[in-house]
């Protein structure tokens, strides 16, 4: 299709459809990836994205990517239909297949993770750091309804406008404020067909069941204002927790976090409990935050130190001089050969620029920690030693080469970089403040700026 014909879409489109794209910052970006399955939401996304780029950044390349999960025989035909649409419109198109063995349980979650991994790989190959997806307000209300049934407090904020995947690729959802039927009306006006995914009406899937219930009883659907309020509460909670971490927490030696005694009196208490939950998760290398009720009980005990407790693979040692948190020594990983991108114990990601043949990654051990530990004034040496023993180390056979997180490990072409476990894979824009506070505390790689013109958009 000729560029002037594509721009006619922009001229005849309700500004409500187009304005969300104008919030995305294209500065320095040469390519954008759009995820398209062939359904109505992603097809509308593709057409709007092309009109947006034609009008605002004609030099930027739009790359459409279809993920074929190979779960249905129709998926190959659907991918070809998308390819024909893209060819008609002059859009580059790639089909990427999920070839891995499918799990016997948790298929939906595994397919979701695989989809984002493959989209991220396609984005990197295209020189892009933004992947657009077609999630709509209908998807938001369904997500909130499902999480509400499970009682997921923070999850009631639903999907974020942008989510950082694997620390480098932004998943951007410009259509979250729009109804699916609005997008279908747009496609009808432009004479564009779409495919219907049969899993959308397959009651084996929770989302299909929830979608059917909401269609029957619209009153049960969460309102936009309720979702927006939940999002604001989540952002505010993260900012308050971030402030508490910035003033009351410090990394006093490798693997050892110290909280001041004032942490136990921090206000608001809800934010302090949240800060404690995040610390327990990152110290223990856990993807999910520990149970809120158990964490609140642990927080209340901090006022009556000394005591020692374990939660989420983290040891909390509360003393009159401070509150110390470290990884417990049980359940540490067995020796394994490191590779680039490998996540070790949920706490470190390996950067491997050299040949790791003959090398192993394993815990440092108490014996080596005793030999190399450095005294820290005001910090119990037994805690320094125990924390250091749980850190990753490089080995050649039985020979200890040194800590894998030490800058000197770079001489071998390998280095372990700390990560904030709950957000190492997915970092919603709602949680940027607390994730940045933890990254600074742990010495993680910096979190990139939001991909929006105004940072409040996230």
- 95 three-class SS: strand
CA–CA distance, 358 with 335 (Å, rounded to integer): 12
Among 8-12, 198-202, 229-233, 312-316, which stretch is predicted with the lowest mean pLDDT? 8-12
- Is the entire prediction scored with pTM above 0.75? yes
The whole-angstrom separation of Cα 169 and Cα 117 is: 10
Least trusted range by pLDDT, from 87-96, 97-106, 221-230, 422-431: 221-230
Question: For 119-171, how does the pLDDT look when each residue is reduced to its tens digit (9 = 90+)?
Answer: 999 999 999 999 999 999 988 888 776 665 445 555 677 889 999 999 999 99
Residue 241, token pair as written in the block? 């927790």
**pLDDT for res 286:** 97
- SS3 for 153? coil
Tokens of 264: 């136990």
Alpha-carbon span 192 to 437, nearest angstrom:
46
Q: What is the mean predicted confidence (pLDDT) over 67-92?
A: 91
In order of their start, the domains of the chain are 3-135+173-222 (3.40.50.620), 343-418 (no CATH)
Query: Residue 74: which residues within 8 A CB-CB, separation 6 or more?
Result: 198
268 cis-preceded (ω within 30 degrees of 0)? yes
Average pLDDT, the chain: 88
Among 292, 277, 282, CA closest to 256: 282
Higher pLDDT, 339 or 104: 339
82: buried, middle or exposed (CB in 10 Å: 19+, 13-18, 0-12)?
A: buried
């Amino acid at each position: 299709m000729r560029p002037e014909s594509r721009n006619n879409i922009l001229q005849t489109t309700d500004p409500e459809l187009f304005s969300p794209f104008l919030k995305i910052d294209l500065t320095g970006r040469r390519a954008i990836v759009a995820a398209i399955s062939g359904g109505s939401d992603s097809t509308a996304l593709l057409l709007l994205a092309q009109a947006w780029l034609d009008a605002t950044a004609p030099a930027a390349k739009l790359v459409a990517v279809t993920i074929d999960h190979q779960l249905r025989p129709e998926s190959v035909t659907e991918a070809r239909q998308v390819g024909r649409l893209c060819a008609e419109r002059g859009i580059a198109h790639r089909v990427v297949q999920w070839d891995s063995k499918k799990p016997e349980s948790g298929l939906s979650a595994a397919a979701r993770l695989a989809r984002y991994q493959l989209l991220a790989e396609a984005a990197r190959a295209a020189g892009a750091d933004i992947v657009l997806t077609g999630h709509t307000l209908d998807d938001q209300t369904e997500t909130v309804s499902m999480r509400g049934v499970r009682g997921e407090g923070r999850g009631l904020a639903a999907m974020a406008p942008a989510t950082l995947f694997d620390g480098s690729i932004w998943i951007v959802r410009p259509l979250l404020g729009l109804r699916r039927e609005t997008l279908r009306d747009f496609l009808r006006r432009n004479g564009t067909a779409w495919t219907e995914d049969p899993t959308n009406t397959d009651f084996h899937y929770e989302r299909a069941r929830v979608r059917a219930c909401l269609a029957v009883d619209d009153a049960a659907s969460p309102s936009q204002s309720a979702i927006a309020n939940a999002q604001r509460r989540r952002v505010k909670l993260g900012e308050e927790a971030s402030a508490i971490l910035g003033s009351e927490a410090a990394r006093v030696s490798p693997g050892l976090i110290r909280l001041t005694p004032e942490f136990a009196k921090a206000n608001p208490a809800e934010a302090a409990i949240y800060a404690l939950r995040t610390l327990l998760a990152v110290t223990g290398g856990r993807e999910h935050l520990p149970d809120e009720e158990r964490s609140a009980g642990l927080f209340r005990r901090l006022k009556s130190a000394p005591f020692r407790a374990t939660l989420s693979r983290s040891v909390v040692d509360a003393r009159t001089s401070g509150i110390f948190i470290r990884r417990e020594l049980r359940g540490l990983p067995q020796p394994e050969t490191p590779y680039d991108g490998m996540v070790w114990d949920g706490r470190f990601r390996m950067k491997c620029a050299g040949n790791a043949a003959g090398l192993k990654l394993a815990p440092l051990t108490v014996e080596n920690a005793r030999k190399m530990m450095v005294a820290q004034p005001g910090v119990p040496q037994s805690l320094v030693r125990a924390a250091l023993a749980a850190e990753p180390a490089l080995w050649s056979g039985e020979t200890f080469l040194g800590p894998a997180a030490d800058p000197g490990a770079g001489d071998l072409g390998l280095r372990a970089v700390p990560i904030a476990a709950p957000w190492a894979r997915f970092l919603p824009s709602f949680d940027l403040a607390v994730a940045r506070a933890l990254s600074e505390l742990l010495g993680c790689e910096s979190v990139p700026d939001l991909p929006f013109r105004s940072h409040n958009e996230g």
